[in-house]
Amino acid sequence: MIVDDIAGLRRILIDNRVIAVVGLSANWNRPSYFAAKYMLEHGYTIIPVNPGQREILGLKCYASLAEIPGKVDIVDCFRKAADIPPLVEEAIAIGAKVLWLQLGVINPEAAQRASAAGLEVVMDRCVKIEHARLFGGLNWAGVNTGIVSAKRMPSPPLP
C-alpha cells in the first residue's frame, strides 16, 4: 500500500526504527548524509548501504541489503528511479516492512511490486523532512535559519 497521509507517515516513523539507507554518501553535504545523520540523532538505527564505502557516519557500510546481518524496517532509497526494481526485490527478500523512495524518486511499477509483496511504500518524500514536519524538528534541522521567511518584508523603494 502506498502511504501518503499524515497519520500513515507518522505511524511508519513511530513503529519502524531501523533504516537501511541505500545510496548513503560519505560526503557530509549530500542530502543522503544529512538525512541519515538527522535520523541517527533522533534515535533511529541507521545502516549505510553503499558498495563504494567501508564506513559512513562511524557505522559499518554494507554493499547490499542482502549483506545486512540484522532486521531492517525501512529501506530508504537515495537512488534514481531506474535503480529501484532490484532494490524492491532485495527489500522483499530481507523482510523489510517499508520501501521509502526519496524526493524525486518515483517508480510506480516498483511501488506496486513492493505493495503486492506486503511492504508499505512511501514515494517522493524525504524521511528527514517528514520526521521534522511531523515531530517538530524543523527548527533543529537548520530549516529555521531566518533566510527564508513567510513574514512580509517592506518593498524596496522604487527608483
Task: Note down the domain range covering 17.
Answer: 6-63+76-135
Which residues make Cβ contacts (< 8 Å) with residue 116, sequence separation at least 6? none
**Domain-embedded: residue 146:** no
How far apart are alpha carbons 48 and 20 in whole angstroms? Answer: 6
Count the domains in the chain.
Answer: 1
**Domain-embedded: residue 155:** no
Q: Residue 89 is part of a domain; what is its CATH number? A: 3.40.50.720
Give the model's pLDDT for residue 136: 78
**Domain-embedded: residue 122:** yes
Binned average pLDDT, 10 residues per bin, the chain of 159 residues: 94 97 94 94 96 96 96 97 97 98 96 97 96 76 46 60
Contact status, residue 23 vs residue 48, Cβ threshold 8 Å: no
With CA atoms as reference, report the closest residue to 91 among 114, 70, 111, 123: 114
Q: What are the angstrom distances between the C-alpha of 93 and each of 14, 47, 76, 119?
A: 23, 17, 15, 11
**Domain-embedded: residue 116:** yes
Give the model's pLDDT for residue 157: 67
**Domain-embedded: residue 153:** no
